[in-house]
């Protein structure tokens, strides 16, 4: 982060500077435990924790300033709304960087694949600043922006949305040079009411393009492909790039898509130009979409197709609980995709499980898909049907919210012991300990709020 004075920060956020001297800030941190000397400590008030209580600790660790909504003992900038102030600070900071350098801002959204695509780009463009974990909301995105330096060439931002207007707000903080839309699925559908409303939210990312900006769209998704007619793209100073599997008229395409032990391979081609083979280390054929998006961005950043294909192929999972395959010493394979879940990602995970298991037994441990609204019952029933149709050997459904998956599996397949339901994670752990043996593959999949990631950690760490 470029050094900023306390007065500059106060002016940027419209706050009152309360300090004896005009101190300097060289980093921003919201967790008092992670504060380093020169940091601006941002005190948020959450449901269970009031960050103001930890301001003394932050100052002890070397914070030179705090951003607060109530006075604290130490130099601080007082504002009415800390979240809004953080956004204003990031907005002003990025505008400052644009005047001092040639930074290009890349924004990624989609119902699925945002974090994986961000992680791919972090390895394809190693000089880029990218989010840590899933910093993709009104707090995480500004914190990522504030990590950029005057010499930063590429700033990769993951942009999430759970309610109308979220993406429009995020693009006011960080106007985009490159906007990537991956998919319009049913994740967070409860916040929008219909797929059409969700598609409109995703399309609003394109309205955040700066003059001369580039829109990169997944032409395999009809709702994303339709965004090509967005009025903002009719301007002569903005360009459209499309990608997809096969087809014609696309900027970048994938052909000869296959999977080896669950890891996708394909040939990437630029329209009328080069072709390069891609052999991915990530698990799941659905990652072809993410890889194509990353390749498109890499080409816009000046990489050759051959270089981009090689870097995408070598890329590994960076964020936890996302299609992470671990082979334990006892021969059990754990496929951990427990960070989040939607109907589309659940289906993709089940297919990946089948591919990875190969000749061994497959166990799908699934929890509730949260934020589905009125579509929740039907969506969970479909999970059970998918498990039967894909011939998953064992389905274990965890938690009352996902029980419909168990019921539909039993009805569809007339399963006996092949399908089971447990109410708690502890029961799920006991179930697996009694049945899983070497050569089996276990998928853990559910929304983050279900806590199934704890079970994944236990299963991976038990014999690590």
**pLDDT on residue 375:** 87
Buried b / exposed e along 101-130 (16+ C-beta atoms within 10 A): eebbbbbbbbbbbbbbbbbbbbbbbeebbb
Calculate mean pLDDT across residues 248-275.
94
**pLDDT on residue 413:** 74
**Alpha-carbon gap, residue 240 to 88, rounded angstroms:** 30
Taking all residues of the chain, what is their mean pLDDT, rounded to a whole number? 94
Q: Of 235, 195, 20, 19, give the one whose Cα is nearest residue 111.
A: 195
Q: Where are the domains of the chain?
A: 4-81, 101-314, 324-461
Q: Does 428 have pLDDT greater than 90?
A: yes
209 near 215, Cβ under 8 Å?
A: yes
Same fold, 101-314 and 324-461: no
> Is this structure's pTM higher than 0.85?
yes
Q: DSSP letters of 28-39?
A: EES-GGG--TTE
In CATH, the number for domain 101-314 is 3.40.1190.10
Architecture of domain 324-461: Alpha-Beta Complex (3.90)
Q: Does 419 have pLDDT greater than 80?
A: yes
pLDDT 10s digits, 276-313: 999 999 999 999 999 999 999 999 999 999 999 999 99
Considering the four listed CATH numbers 3.40.50.920, 3.40.50.300, 3.40.50.2300, 3.40.1390.10, the one that applies to the domain covering 4-81 is: 3.40.1390.10
Give the distance between the most distant pair of CA atoms in the chain: 74
Q: Does 414 have pLDDT greater than 60?
A: yes
**pLDDT on residue 331:** 94
**pLDDT on residue 416:** 66
pLDDT 10s digits, 364-403: 999 999 988 888 999 999 999 999 999 999 999 999 999 9
Q: Which of 15-19, 336-340, 363-367 has the lowest mean pLDDT?
A: 336-340
Q: Residue 443, by phi and psi: left (phi above 0), alpha (psi -120 to 50) or beta?
A: beta
124 near 106, Cβ under 8 Å?
A: no
pLDDT 10s digits, 182-226: 999 876 566 677 888 899 999 999 999 999 999 999 999 999 999
**pLDDT on residue 319:** 87
């Amino acid at each position: 982060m470029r050094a900023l004075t306390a007065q500059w920060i106060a002016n940027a956020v419209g706050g009152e500077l309360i300090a004896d001297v005009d101190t300097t800030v060289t980093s921003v941190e919201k967790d008092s435990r992670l504060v380093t000397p020169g940091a601006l400590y941002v005190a948020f008030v959450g449901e269970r924790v009031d960050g103001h209580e930890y301001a003394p600790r932050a100052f002890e660790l070397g914070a030179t300033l705090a951003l607060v909504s109530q006075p604290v003992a130490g130099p601080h900038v007082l504002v009415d709304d800390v979240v809004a102030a953080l956004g204003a600070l990031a907005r002003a900071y990025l505008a400052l960087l644009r005047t001092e350098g040639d930074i290009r801002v890349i924004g990624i959204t989609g119902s699925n694949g945002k974090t994986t695509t961000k992680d791919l780009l972090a390895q394809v463009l190693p000089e880029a600043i990218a989010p840590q974990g899933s910093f993709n909301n009104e707090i995480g995105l500004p914190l990522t922006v504030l990590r950029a330096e005057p010499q930063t060439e590429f700033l990769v931002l993951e942009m999430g949305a759970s309610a109308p207007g979220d993406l429009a707000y995020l693009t006011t903080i960080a106007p985009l040079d490159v906007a990537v839309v991956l998919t319009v699925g049913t994740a967070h559908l409860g916040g929008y009411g219909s797929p059409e409303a969700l598609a409109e939210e995703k399309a609003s990312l394109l309205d955040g393009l700066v003059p001369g900006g580039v829109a990169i769209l997944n032409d395999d998704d009809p709702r994303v492909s339709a965004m090509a007619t967005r009025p903002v793209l009719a301007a002569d100073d903005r360009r459209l790039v499309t990608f997809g599997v096969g087809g014609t008229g696309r900027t970048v395409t994938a052909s000869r898509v296959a999977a080896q032990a669950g890891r996708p391979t394909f040939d990437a081609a630029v329209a009328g130009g080069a072709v390069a083979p891609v052999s991915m280390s990530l698990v799941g054929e659905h990652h072809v979409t993410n890889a194509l998006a990353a390749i498109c961005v890499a080409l816009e950043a000046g990489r050759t197709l051959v270089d981009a294909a090689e870097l995408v192929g070598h890329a590994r999972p960076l964020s936890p609980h996302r299609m992470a395959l671990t082979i334990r010493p006892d021969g059990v394979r754990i496929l951990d995709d427990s960070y989040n879940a939607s109907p589309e990602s659940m289906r993709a995970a089940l297919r990946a499980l089948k591919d990875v298991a190969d000749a061994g037994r497959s166990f799908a441990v699934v929890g509730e898909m949260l934020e589905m609204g009125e579509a929740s019952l039907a969506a969970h029933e479909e999970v059970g049907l998918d498990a039967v149709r894909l011939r998953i050997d064992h389905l274990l459904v965890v938690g009352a919210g996902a029980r419909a998956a168990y019921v539909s599996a039993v009805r569809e397949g007339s399963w006996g012991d092949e399908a089971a339901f447990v109410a708690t994670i502890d029961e799920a752990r006991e179930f697996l300990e009694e049945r899983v043996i070497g050569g089996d593959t276990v998928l853990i999949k559910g929304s983050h709020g279900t806590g199934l990631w704890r079970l994944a950690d236990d299963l991976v760490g038990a014999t690590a």
